[in-house]
Chains A and B, each alone.
Chain A
Amino acid sequence: MSKRKVKDAHLPVGECITQVHQILRQRFCHQQLPDRPLGVEAQHKHLAELLKRTAVHGESNSVLIVGPRGAGKTTLLKCVLRELMKETEVHKNLLQVHLNGLLQTDDRIALKEITRQLHLENVVGDKVFGSFAENLAFLLDALKKGERSSSRPVLFVLEEFDLFAHHKNQTLLYNLFDVSQSAQAPIAVVGLTCRLDVLELLEKRVKSRFSHRQIYLLSSLTFTQYLERVQTQLSLPGDFPDRKFAQEWNASIKTLCEDKSVEDVLQRHFNSSKDFRSLHLLLMLCLSRVSVSKPVIKQADLLDASRLYSADSKANMLHGLSILELCLIIAMKHLNDVYEGEPFNLQMVHNEFKKFLQRKSSSMYNYEKPVVMKAFEHLQQLELIRPADASSAKVQREFQLMRLMLDHGQIMEALQKYPQCPTDVKQWATSAFA
């Protein structure tokens, strides 16, 4: 190993860049496990303790991990499991079943999946079961018989736990919690969810069987910690093949993080959200600009990436509209101002537009009504306007009530940026009676 390192000490720059991309992309996109979860030591200890008790002592437990999206719930669980699996006793004993609320949309599918993950398809075979509970009991029985000692503990991991609570009668949850309560086979049920009110979703009988143990993952980090995190996320690890390049890279990252404008950008980002997934997206955008000709991340890259990240997509859409469509939107804006947000129809918009044309008396935009209608329909297709009520088929097209899905500021800003916007249209936008 050390010999190779010496030999590879001076890789060509291209090689290094490829390596950097590989390592950092792995980190950002594939949610690679960090060596140690940061900032959640207490929760980590709690969970590890709990799972260990199930795995070693055969105690049945249930726990819910609650936290916002991107707070590292799955990462925490995976880290704990990785540590647990290192112990041979646990590794030999513990069976894992991973279920996801997105995939296992009903209890039948979930049960099939459990059977498959416990490798019991051949045991169940073609047997017909009267009830769900019977089936589950049979599965757990089969586990008991399979082992010469009393039984092997099973760990159930339910991701998107709140979706499981929408199943009919919550049969799966009821049975799992029931087994964990009534001291049959030792099982641990770990639910991961982003809903704080998840307990309110549970039925009473299910709720009473749940142990009410919850682990909250609320991010409590300050901006300095956030900044540190950015730095560690971007730095290269110690075992990078080219030592010299890694040192240079890390030094450049350090100066980057100390830069004032970068700090501002990150502060803004931090204020909008604290979770790391959006940070990863931002850093990915930066990283994609690194190439052989430009081997370090500059502050300009970060600024660009942030601009790209926080761009208003609706303003972008407005940019691509034709003049006629833009005029219609301005007419709608005026209607909204005059009638205080009442829904409008095409006839009113067209009327407003005609008024503008009369005042200007320029025949430049004198389009016929069908052309205007086509533009109106294009706006509807882009969902910049929406029908006010759902019953669409019954009303004539020109009388269907619509609502504008843009606000005042967005329209004005888009008008300012619009390439080659006619002046009279601009004036009309600023005042209805111009």
Chain B
Amino acid sequence: MEELELPHATVSCVECVSAALLFEQVLLSFFGCDAASLLPRSPSLSDFVRIYRQQSSQFPAEQTRYIIMEKTELLRDADANLLPALLRLQELVEDNVTVILLSEIVWETFRPNTGCFEPLLLHFPDYSKDELKQVLSKNKHPSYSAEFYSSYINILLGVFYSVCRDLRELRHLAALNFLKFCEPVEEGKAKVGDTHKLWKNIEPHLKKAMRTVYLREVSSLQWEQIQQMEEQETGAVRGLSAHTHVELPYYSKFLLIAAYLASYNPARTDKRFFVKHHGKIRKTNFLKKNEKTSNHLLGPKPFPLDRLLAIFYSVVDSRVAPTASIFSQISSLVTLQLLVQISHDDQLDAPKYKCAVTLDFISAISRTVNFDIVKYLYDFL
């Protein structure tokens, strides 16, 4: 658009939280400030079309005007009329106007249920491996030759291509890891042409990068710092998700453990685990049930408050009175999003909960209170 100097308005649907902002931007870029200020306080589509018509009759276009909408998938959540109206904008404003919608989502999910004016669909195909190589090799480092850089890109794609085809992501990774790649050359350990040596050096490093930077566990800045500090092993720094340890009060820990057990164990096994003199359970029956899909696959089950408390009392050794603080700890676990309350309809009377923590987290917690949780889990029997 810039190259051909066509009159166009680029609108990002993320920015335009209301239709009014969209109208204003379009008018602004086509006709200047005067037109945009004509819009009333909360303009409707009707106002927009009226002003557009007025302006376009004053300044008739010699060329087609273009409205480019980015991230159009958000338009579906906007006013139901907006998308059909934009699609037939040319008819409505009687001007030579083209609306271009850019989106990642297929058109079938856009179509309103009463139908609309069908747009011309174009598909922008993804880059193939060779194309990616070409594009990435373009921004080479000034102090090294083009072949050297493209061999680096080759290695990078070899590691990352099967996981990620996002050009932006790959470019970012390429920029981050290039210095490490050059290191042996600078130190004189390897020559520029010595591809195999270089590959040996960089490959474990890239694998590590996939685990850390790609997932944003370690920020790019941290990554660069790590690379500069040679003695420190890469990845030794704990990433974002490694900080799973949370300090909790003693009873809260047990509450959480009880909640985990209630979520992942079926209710009929409670008797077996937590009552001292339970009757004998026939082993065959038990094992047969065990072969069914494990609970850790299906996710946590909801449980009532009573069951949580019953398990809690049997898990905690000492006698605990059901004081107000116990109940307030339960609700504070909910606000910390370690527990999730379902069925909002009855707040006081028998609410149901779900446990929303992982197995690693809960076993770390139970270790701090000397409780062996795996022994009590139905799945691991």
Q: Contacts A103-B49, A103-B85, A313-B108: A320 and B126 contacting too (C-beta < 8 A)?
A: yes
Instruction: Give CA–CA (A112, B44) in the complex, Å.
Output: 12
Does B121 make an interface contact (CB < 8 A)? yes
Q: Contacts A194-B115, A322-B161, A371-B215: A105 and B46 contacting too (C-beta < 8 A)?
A: yes
Does A213 make an interface contact (CB < 8 A)? no
Does B237 make an interface contact (CB < 8 A)? no
- The listed residue with most A CB atoms (<10 A of its CB), out of B46, B161, B297, B356, is B46
Instruction: Give CA–CA (A312, B208) in the complex, Å.
Output: 38
Within 293-333 of A, Cβ neighbours of B (below 8 Å) are at 311, 313-314, 316-317, 319-324
Please name all residues of chain A whose beta carbon is closer than 8 Å to the beta carbon of B367 when the two chains form the complex.
Answer: none
Does B63 make an interface contact (CB < 8 A)? no
Please name all residues of chain A whose beta carbon is closer than 8 Å to the beta carbon of B15 when the two chains form the complex.
Answer: none
- Give which listed residue, A102, A284, A319, A375, contacts B163 with CB less than 8 A: A375
Does B327 make an interface contact (CB < 8 A)? no
B46 touching A113, Cβ below 8 Å: yes
Please name all residues of chain B whose beta carbon is closer than 8 Å to the beta carbon of A84 when the two chains form the complex.
Answer: none
Instruction: Give CA–CA (A277, B342) in the complex, Å.
Output: 50
Instruction: Give CA–CA (A31, B161) in the complex, Å.
Output: 47
Q: How far is the CB of B87 from chain A (nearest CB, A)?
A: 10
Please name all residues of chain B whose beta carbon is closer than 8 Å to the beta carbon of A322 when the two chains form the complex.
Answer: 161-165
**Partner-binding segment picked from B99-107, B175-183, B243-251:** B99-107
Does A278 make an interface contact (CB < 8 A)? yes
Does A351 make an interface contact (CB < 8 A)? yes
Does B347 make an interface contact (CB < 8 A)? no
- Give which listed residue, A104, A317, A382, contacts B46 with CB less than 8 A: A104
Q: Contacts A323-B162, A419-B128: A383 and B49 contacting too (C-beta < 8 A)?
A: no
Does B296 make an interface contact (CB < 8 A)? yes
- Give which listed residue, A70, A278, A365, A399, contacts B162 with CB less than 8 A: A365
Q: Contacts A102-B85, A395-B340, A396-B299: A320 and B104 contacting too (C-beta < 8 A)?
A: no
B297 touching A347, Cβ below 8 Å: yes
Instruction: Give CA–CA (A322, B96) in the complex, Å.
Output: 40
Does B287 make an interface contact (CB < 8 A)? no
Q: Which residue of B lies closest to A348 (CB)?
A: B297
Within 82-101 of B, Cβ neighbours of A (below 8 Å) are at 84-85, 88, 90-92
B120 touching A281, Cβ below 8 Å: yes
- The listed residue with most A CB atoms (<10 A of its CB), out of B44, B73, B300, is B44
Q: How far is the CB of A403 from chain B (nearest CB, A)?
A: 13
Please name all residues of chain A whose beta carbon is closer than 8 Å to the beta carbon of B354 when the two chains form the complex.
Answer: 394-395
Does B310 make an interface contact (CB < 8 A)? no
Instruction: Give CA–CA (A324, B342) in the complex, Å.
Output: 34
B118 touching A313, Cβ below 8 Å: no
Q: Which residue of B lies closest to A384 (CB)?
A: B106
Please name all residues of chain B whose beta carbon is closer than 8 Å to the beta carbon of A383 when the two chains form the complex.
Answer: 73, 105-106, 109
Within 20-51 of A, Cβ neighbours of B (below 8 Å) are at 29-31
- Give which listed residue, B106, B125, B296, B356, contacts A347 with CB less than 8 A: B296
Q: Which residue of A lies closest to B166 (CB)?
A: A378
Does B362 make an interface contact (CB < 8 A)? no
B125 touching A319, Cβ below 8 Å: yes
Does A247 make an interface contact (CB < 8 A)? no
Please name all residues of chain B whose beta carbon is closer than 8 Å to the beta carbon of A285 when the two chains form the complex.
Answer: 120
Encoded as 1 (CB less than 8 Å from any B CB) or 0, chain A from 383 to 403 comes to 100000000001110110000
B296 touching A313, Cβ below 8 Å: no
Q: How far is the CB of B338 from chain A (nearest CB, A)?
A: 11
A345 touching B298, Cβ below 8 Å: yes
Q: How far is the CB of B14 from chain A (nearest CB, A)?
A: 14
How many residues of chain A have a CB within 8 Å of chain B? 56
Q: Which residue of A lies closest to B122 (CB)?
A: A308
Please name all residues of chain B whose beta carbon is closer than 8 Å to the beta carbon of A399 when the two chains form the complex.
Answer: 298-300
Please name all residues of chain B whose beta carbon is closer than 8 Å to the beta carbon of A313 when the two chains form the complex.
Answer: 106-108, 121, 123
A69 touching B299, Cβ below 8 Å: no
B162 touching A324, Cβ below 8 Å: yes
Please name all residues of chain A whose beta carbon is closer than 8 Å to the beta carbon of B284 when the two chains form the complex.
Answer: none
B125 touching A382, Cβ below 8 Å: no
Please name all residues of chain A whose beta carbon is closer than 8 Å to the beta carbon of B79 when the two chains form the complex.
Answer: 105
Please name all residues of chain A whose beta carbon is closer than 8 Å to the beta carbon of B191 when the two chains form the complex.
Answer: none
Instruction: Give CA–CA (A314, B106) in the complex, Å.
Output: 7
Instruction: Give CA–CA (A277, B119) in the complex, Å.
Output: 10
Instruction: Give CA–CA (A417, B258) in the complex, Å.
Output: 51
Instruction: Give CA–CA (A319, B126) in the complex, Å.
Output: 8
Please name all residues of chain B whose beta carbon is closer than 8 Å to the beta carbon of A316 when the two chains form the complex.
Answer: 123, 125
Instruction: Give CA–CA (A395, B106) in the complex, Å.
Output: 27
B46 touching A103, Cβ below 8 Å: yes
Q: Which residue of B lies closest to A350 (CB)?
A: B297
Please name all residues of chain A whose beta carbon is closer than 8 Å to the beta carbon of B161 when the two chains form the complex.
Answer: 322-323
Please name all residues of chain B whose beta carbon is closer than 8 Å to the beta carbon of A100 when the two chains form the complex.
Answer: 92
Please name all residues of chain A whose beta carbon is closer than 8 Å to the beta carbon of B84 when the two chains form the complex.
Answer: 102
- Give which listed residue, B81, B164, B215, contacts A105 with CB less than 8 A: B81
Please name all residues of chain A whose beta carbon is closer than 8 Å to the beta carbon of B296 when the two chains form the complex.
Answer: 347
Does A131 make an interface contact (CB < 8 A)? no
- Give which listed residue, B90, B128, B342, B358, contacts A394 with CB less than 8 A: B342
A370 touching B49, Cβ below 8 Å: no
Within 228-272 of B, Cβ neighbours of A (below 8 Å) are at 241
Q: Which residue of B lies closest to A320 (CB)?
A: B126
Does B141 make an interface contact (CB < 8 A)? no
Encoded as 1 (CB less than 8 Å from any A CB) or 0, chain B from 116 to 140 comes to 1110110101101100000000000
A281 touching B118, Cβ below 8 Å: yes
A382 touching B85, Cβ below 8 Å: no
- The listed residue with most A CB atoms (<10 A of its CB), out of B90, B106, B298, is B106
B163 touching A324, Cβ below 8 Å: yes
Q: How far is the CB of B67 from chain A (nearest CB, A)?
A: 15
Instruction: Give CA–CA (A109, B81) in the complex, Å.
Output: 14
- Give which listed residue, A31, A311, A370, contacts B241 with CB less than 8 A: A370
Does B45 make an interface contact (CB < 8 A)? yes
Instruction: Give CA–CA (A15, B109) in the complex, Å.
Output: 42
Please name all residues of chain A whose beta carbon is closer than 8 Å to the beta carbon of B31 when the two chains form the complex.
Answer: none
A-B CB proximity, top 9 nearest: A399-B299, A320-B126, A323-B162, A313-B106, A103-B46, A102-B85, A316-B123, A69-B115, A370-B215
12 A-B contacts, Cβ less than 8 Å apart? A103-B44, A103-B49, A277-B117, A313-B107, A314-B106, A319-B125, A320-B125, A345-B299, A367-B163, A371-B163, A371-B211, A399-B298
The interface of chain A, by Cβ under 8 A from chain B, is 29-31, 69-70, 100-105, 109, 112-113, 116, 162-163, 194-195, 277-278, 281, 284-285, 311, 313-314, 316-317, 319-324, 345, 347-348, 351, 365, 367-368, 370-371, 374-375, 381-383, 394-396, 398-399, 419-420
